[in-house]
Amino acid sequence: MSHKIHNEHNSSSKNYIIGFILSIVFTIIAFYSVGSDMTKGWILFTIFFAAIVQLFIQLWFFLHLDQESKPFYMTQAFAFAILTLFIFVGGSLWVMYELNYNMM
């Protein structure tokens, strides 16, 4: 029994490290896209893509939705995460657009 717990702990630690590294990679991709000479459309696409991928990384590696025994809760969590993503990203883009428009 002790051996089984030890293996689960190593697997859990490995998943956390993988999730952390992937989160850092996609954060760096988003920062790099803003600092690069890409067009505005590609920058927005890259940031949006990185945000969606990070959402799934967080849900998979840190919230352990792959281990959920009831799929209904997993579906609800994904739906809520997507809704929240659209509210935050869409709202942020809308606010920034309006600020840019009103300040020019």
Prediction pTM value: 0.61
Domain ranges of the chain: 2-103
pLDDT of residue 17: 92
What averages of pLDDT result for each successive group of 10 residues across the chain (104 residues)? Answer: 52 86 94 89 90 86 71 77 86 90 86
Q: Please tell me the distance from the alpha carbon of residue 59 to that of residue 102, in angstroms, as a whole number.
A: 37
Tokens of 4: 């089984």
pLDDT of residue 24: 95
Q: Please tell me the distance from the alpha carbon of residue 78 to that of residue 7, in angstroms, as a whole number.
A: 29
pLDDT of residue 41: 87
**Terminal-to-terminal C-alpha distance of the chain:** 67
Between the CA atoms of 31, 25, 50 and 92, what dihedral angle is there, to the nearest 10 degrees?
A: -40
pLDDT of residue 59: 79
Tokens of 9: 């702990």
